[in-house]
Amino acid sequence: RPEVLEIHEMAGEHDLLLKVVLENTERLNVFLHEIDRIEGVAGSRTYLVLKTEKETTAVDI
């Protein structure tokens, strides 16, 4: 799915972290309902980014 930019396996309270970009809250609502229908998904939490101070994929090694 092109709207899913990142998928991370997590240690702790949650199993997965998805970073998605959607056109509007209506599309977000549809996406969340689709996630909830996946077998094995017990629930989800949604966090909205209001402002991004820095975003990069560059890493100094």
Does residue 57 belong to any structural domain of this protein?
A: no
Total domains present in the chain: 1
Q: In terms of residue numbers, what domain contains 23?
A: 1-49
Contact 20, 4 (CB under 8 A): yes
pLDDT confidence of 38, banded at 50, 70, 90?
very high
Does residue 59 belong to any structural domain of this protein?
A: no
Q: Which tokens is 48 given?
A: 């909205």
pLDDT confidence of 50, banded at 50, 70, 90?
very high
- Which residues, listed in sequence order, are joined to residue 7 by a DSSP beta bridge? 18
Does residue 11 belong to any structural domain of this protein?
A: yes
Does residue 61 belong to any structural domain of this protein?
A: no
Mean pLDDT over 3-29 rounds to: 96
pLDDT of 54 strictly over 90: yes
The whole-angstrom separation of Cα 40 and Cα 38 is: 6
Using CA atoms, how far residue 7 sits from 4, 19, 32, 60, 61, in Å, is 7, 7, 15, 23, 23
pLDDT confidence of 61, banded at 50, 70, 90?
confident
